[in-house]
Amino acid sequence: MRISLTSIFVDDQAKAKRFYTEVLGFQIKHDMPVGEHSWLTVVSPEAPDGPELLLEPSVHRAVPPYKQALFEDGIPAASFAVHDLVAEHRRLSEAGVVFTQEPTPMGPVSTAIFNDTCGNLIQLTSLTDK
Protein backbone atom coordinates (compact mmCIF):
# COMPACT_ATOMS: atom_id res chain seq x y z
CA MET A 1 0.00 0.00 0.00
CA ARG A 2 1.19 3.50 -0.78
CA ILE A 3 -0.19 7.02 -0.86
CA SER A 4 -1.02 8.01 -4.42
CA LEU A 5 -3.22 11.07 -3.88
CA THR A 6 -4.04 13.46 -1.09
CA SER A 7 -5.87 16.74 -1.22
CA ILE A 8 -5.90 20.22 0.18
CA PHE A 9 -8.93 22.50 -0.01
CA VAL A 10 -8.28 25.79 -1.80
CA ASP A 11 -10.42 28.92 -2.04
CA ASP A 12 -9.52 29.59 -5.68
CA GLN A 13 -8.07 26.94 -7.99
CA ALA A 14 -6.49 29.42 -10.42
CA LYS A 15 -4.75 31.25 -7.57
CA ALA A 16 -3.69 27.93 -6.02
CA LYS A 17 -2.35 26.71 -9.36
CA ARG A 18 -0.15 29.80 -9.65
CA PHE A 19 1.04 29.65 -6.04
CA TYR A 20 1.77 25.92 -5.92
CA THR A 21 3.59 25.92 -9.26
CA GLU A 22 5.18 29.36 -9.68
CA VAL A 23 6.06 30.00 -6.02
CA LEU A 24 6.45 26.56 -4.44
CA GLY A 25 7.79 24.87 -7.58
CA PHE A 26 5.43 21.93 -7.94
CA GLN A 27 4.54 20.67 -11.42
CA ILE A 28 1.07 20.18 -12.86
CA LYS A 29 0.22 16.48 -13.21
CA HIS A 30 -3.46 16.80 -14.19
CA ASP A 31 -5.60 19.80 -15.04
CA MET A 32 -8.88 18.47 -16.41
CA PRO A 33 -12.13 20.46 -16.40
CA VAL A 34 -14.86 18.93 -14.23
CA GLY A 35 -17.90 21.17 -14.38
CA GLU A 36 -17.05 24.65 -13.13
CA HIS A 37 -13.84 23.39 -11.47
CA SER A 38 -10.94 21.18 -12.47
CA TRP A 39 -9.31 17.95 -11.39
CA LEU A 40 -6.09 19.80 -10.64
CA THR A 41 -3.16 17.89 -9.19
CA VAL A 42 0.48 18.83 -8.67
CA VAL A 43 3.56 16.74 -7.97
CA SER A 44 7.07 17.36 -6.78
CA PRO A 45 9.59 17.76 -9.60
CA GLU A 46 11.77 15.44 -7.48
CA ALA A 47 9.13 12.68 -7.78
CA PRO A 48 6.96 13.32 -10.87
CA ASP A 49 5.48 9.82 -10.59
CA GLY A 50 5.08 10.09 -6.81
CA PRO A 51 2.10 11.18 -4.72
CA GLU A 52 -0.18 13.81 -6.21
CA LEU A 53 -1.64 16.75 -4.32
CA LEU A 54 -5.19 17.56 -5.41
CA LEU A 55 -5.94 21.29 -5.20
CA GLU A 56 -9.58 20.73 -4.37
CA PRO A 57 -12.17 23.53 -4.40
CA SER A 58 -13.52 24.49 -0.96
CA VAL A 59 -17.13 24.12 -2.07
CA HIS A 60 -18.59 21.57 0.35
CA ARG A 61 -20.47 23.32 3.18
CA ALA A 62 -18.29 21.65 5.83
CA VAL A 63 -15.03 22.92 4.37
CA PRO A 64 -15.07 26.69 5.12
CA PRO A 65 -15.63 26.33 8.91
CA TYR A 66 -13.11 23.46 9.05
CA LYS A 67 -10.45 25.47 7.20
CA GLN A 68 -11.13 28.59 9.27
CA ALA A 69 -10.79 26.68 12.56
CA LEU A 70 -7.49 25.10 11.49
CA PHE A 71 -6.14 28.43 10.26
CA GLU A 72 -7.18 30.36 13.38
CA ASP A 73 -5.63 27.68 15.62
CA GLY A 74 -2.38 27.75 13.61
CA ILE A 75 -2.73 24.12 12.48
CA PRO A 76 -1.18 23.28 9.11
CA ALA A 77 -3.39 21.60 6.52
CA ALA A 78 -0.40 19.81 5.00
CA SER A 79 3.30 19.23 5.57
CA PHE A 80 6.01 19.20 2.90
CA ALA A 81 9.56 17.91 3.37
CA VAL A 82 12.51 20.01 2.23
CA HIS A 83 16.24 19.26 2.24
CA ASP A 84 17.37 22.61 3.67
CA LEU A 85 14.70 24.43 5.66
CA VAL A 86 16.73 27.61 6.14
CA ALA A 87 17.43 27.94 2.41
CA GLU A 88 13.82 27.18 1.49
CA HIS A 89 12.55 29.67 4.07
CA ARG A 90 14.85 32.32 2.57
CA ARG A 91 13.78 31.53 -1.01
CA LEU A 92 10.08 31.64 -0.19
CA SER A 93 10.38 34.75 1.98
CA GLU A 94 12.13 36.53 -0.89
CA ALA A 95 9.21 35.46 -3.12
CA GLY A 96 6.80 37.19 -0.73
CA VAL A 97 5.52 34.14 1.14
CA VAL A 98 4.29 35.03 4.63
CA PHE A 99 5.48 32.75 7.41
CA THR A 100 3.54 32.38 10.65
CA GLN A 101 6.36 30.33 12.19
CA GLU A 102 10.01 30.89 11.39
CA PRO A 103 12.30 27.83 11.13
CA THR A 104 12.22 26.21 14.56
CA PRO A 105 14.20 23.18 15.77
CA MET A 106 11.94 20.52 17.29
CA GLY A 107 14.11 17.60 18.26
CA PRO A 108 15.01 15.53 15.20
CA VAL A 109 13.27 17.93 12.80
CA SER A 110 12.99 21.64 12.16
CA THR A 111 9.72 23.15 11.02
CA ALA A 112 8.35 26.39 9.60
CA ILE A 113 4.77 27.33 8.72
CA PHE A 114 3.52 29.63 5.96
CA ASN A 115 0.25 30.93 4.53
CA ASP A 116 -0.49 29.44 1.09
CA THR A 117 -2.72 32.42 0.12
CA CYS A 118 -5.58 29.96 -0.54
CA GLY A 119 -6.91 29.62 3.01
CA ASN A 120 -4.37 27.20 4.46
CA LEU A 121 -1.30 27.05 6.60
CA ILE A 122 1.40 24.72 5.27
CA GLN A 123 4.24 23.26 7.33
CA LEU A 124 7.74 22.68 5.96
CA THR A 125 9.93 20.11 7.68
CA SER A 126 13.52 19.00 7.41
CA LEU A 127 15.72 16.71 9.42
CA THR A 128 17.80 18.59 11.97
CA ASP A 129 21.54 18.35 11.41
CA LYS A 130 23.31 16.55 14.21
Sign (positive or negative) of CA dihedral 19, 22, 25, 31:
positive
Indicate which CATH number applies to the domain containing 28: 3.10.180.10
Residue 130, pLDDT above cutoff 60: no
Q: What is the pTM of this model?
A: 0.94
What would the mean pLDDT of 22-29 be, rounded to a whole number?
98
Quote the pLDDT of residue 129: 66
**pLDDT surpassing 90 at residue 128:** no
Could you give the CA distance from residue 63 to residue 66 in angstroms, rounded to a whole number?
5
Q: Mean pLDDT over all residues of the chain?
A: 96
What is the residue range of 108's domain?
5-127
pLDDT at 116: 98
Residue pLDDT, tens place only, 71-108: 999 999 999 999 999 999 999 999 999 999 999 999 99
Distance CA 122, CA 72 (A): 13
Task: Give the model's pLDDT for residue 72.
Answer: 97
Number of domains present in the structure of the chain: 1
Q: What is the pLDDT of residue 46?
A: 95
